[in-house]
Every structure is written in structure tokens, then in C-alpha cells.
Amino acid sequence: MIRKLSLIVAALIGLAIPVAPAAHADPLAKDVFGSFRSANAGPKGAIGSYSRGCASGNVQLPESGPTWQAMRLSRNRNWGQPELIDFLVGLSRAATQVGWPGLYIGDLSQPRGGPMVSGHASHQIGLDADIWMLPPQSLRLSPQQRENISSVSVVAQNGLGMSRHWSAGHAALIRAAAMDPRVDRIFLDAAIKVEMCRMNNNRGAWLQKLRPTPNHDYHFHVRLHCNSGSCNNPATPVAQLSGNDNGCGEAAQELRYRANPSTRPRGTPNPDYRHPRTFRLSELPRQCTNVAGAR
């Protein structure tokens, strides 16, 4: 009897042996890409989609420049495709034309893109960047000061208008970003879009690029076009935005829902949605495995 039990236990142990290596062979993508401290040496390229992909040949936005500072350096998320870095440096120079010393720049991407261990669902292919709403008071902040300082909300507490922090400089900066042909869309709070529409009489095709998005009142999120053959943008193209008012009516409707929450239609959650932090490496585009294994 004892010998029989021993054989059964041995068999069960034998069956269990492959489980651990299998899990290790297909780790969570966030753990893989969150561990890199530098980019790969391969050719530049955005791979996959903004929320399920990676990036080859990212370059690092210098921590400080004459018209910018990268914030929250401990996150190591000041990496992006060369065109994103060029865009940000140019926008920081444009900020000096609207009365700002430059820009405080938040998260871009990780050294090799990919899902992050915390925070963003997107920012995975080196074409996204967060711009703080806080006009810089100094461009000589220490690394520790950059960890401790916070941005400011330009939206009133009730969400229906602008706070005292909003200025003409903010409006000019957002307009400059939206008018850049490299920009696909800009995510910001609905109240900001309504104000931008009001200031411009709902005119200007660039207003289409401003997409109302919750939790984007302390910063605005710029996304560049995906022009690589290895990446794609699954969202509705900006040019196909419904209506002929550049999306201004939709943003105004959002504020009406905020004022009267009971009138907001109930949405239907997507039962298949998964946060990118749950993706395994094998669930990313195949090229991402190569990026993860490259030097």
C-alpha cells in the first residue's frame, strides 16, 4: 500500500514539474518591459497598438534642456520614438512664445515601450506623451524636487468650467500642439475642449483632435500618428469624427451630463476588456519578443 501511494505521489509530482517553467516562459509583459533600463539597438519602429505593443529604437528625452524638464525621473519613462522627442522639444520652444519658460513633461514611454507596471494603459509604442498643465517656475529642479512637485488642475472642482489656473497660455499651447501635422489626437478634459471651442467659435479642423477624456485636467496627453507598417491605431480616425462642429457639441453634452448625472445614458461594460497589465508576453505582437530579447 505504501509503495502504491509513493508511486502515485511521484506521478503527481512528475505531472506538476512542467507548470512552473511554462509560466516562467510566458511572463507578464509588464514585468518584462518594466525591467529594462535602456532601449534596444535595433532600428526605430512603433510596433502593435498604443495599448498592446512595444517600441524598437526608442531614444531618451534628456532629463533637462533649455526649455524643458522631464518629471518623475524614477519611473524611467522619458523614452520615445525619435519623432516624439523632436515634437516635444519643438513644443517646449513654442511654449516660450506664449509666455512660459518651457514645459514640464510627464510620462512618455518605457525604454522599449510595452505595458507598464503601474498607471497607463497606453504609452506603449513610443508615440504618447503627457504635458503638465503647470507652467514651470524653474527649469533647474533637482531629481527629488521633480518627484515631489505636482501639477495643477485647470478645471473647476464641479467639472463645469475652468479653474483659476487656466490661462491664455494653456489655450495657445494646446492649439499649437493640435495644429502640428504629426499629432493624431490630444486627450484632455471635456471642460477644456468646451473652452477651446468657445475661444475659437467651434472653427478649425484641429479642434477635432481634442478628445474629451476623464482624468486629463492636470495634464494633456499628446498622441502622434502611427505611420509605421508595424503599428496600427484601432481608434476612429480623427477625420471621421461625427457631425460638422469638430466635436464641440459632444463635449458640451458631456458637461450637461455632469450637471445632471441622472440624464446620462447607462453604458454597457465590455466583458472582454482586460487591462494591459494582465497581458502575457506571447499576447503582444511577435516582434515584441525580439525587442525584449535584443541587446
Which of 18-22, 166-170, 224-228, 265-269 comes out lowest in average pLDDT?
Answer: 18-22
| DSSP structure class, residue 61 | P
- The tens digit of pLDDT for each residue in 36-52 reads 999 999 899 999 999 99
- The tens digit of pLDDT for each residue in 53-85 reads 999 999 999 999 999 999 999 999 999 999 999
Q: Which residue has the cell 518651457?
A: 102
Give domain limits for the chain: 45-234+248-261
**Sign for the pseudo-dihedral over CA of 250, 251, 255, 261:** positive
* pTM (2 d.p.): 0.89
Which of 97-111, 160-174, 220-234 comes out lowest in average pLDDT?
Answer: 220-234
- The tens digit of pLDDT for each residue in 215-273 reads 999 999 999 999 877 998 877 777 666 567 899 999 999 999 999 999 999 989 999 99
pLDDT at residue number 294: 78
- Alpha-carbon distance of 218 to 54, in angstroms, equals 26
Looking at every residue in the chain, the average pLDDT score rounds to 91
Residue range 45-234+248-261, CATH number: 3.30.1380.10
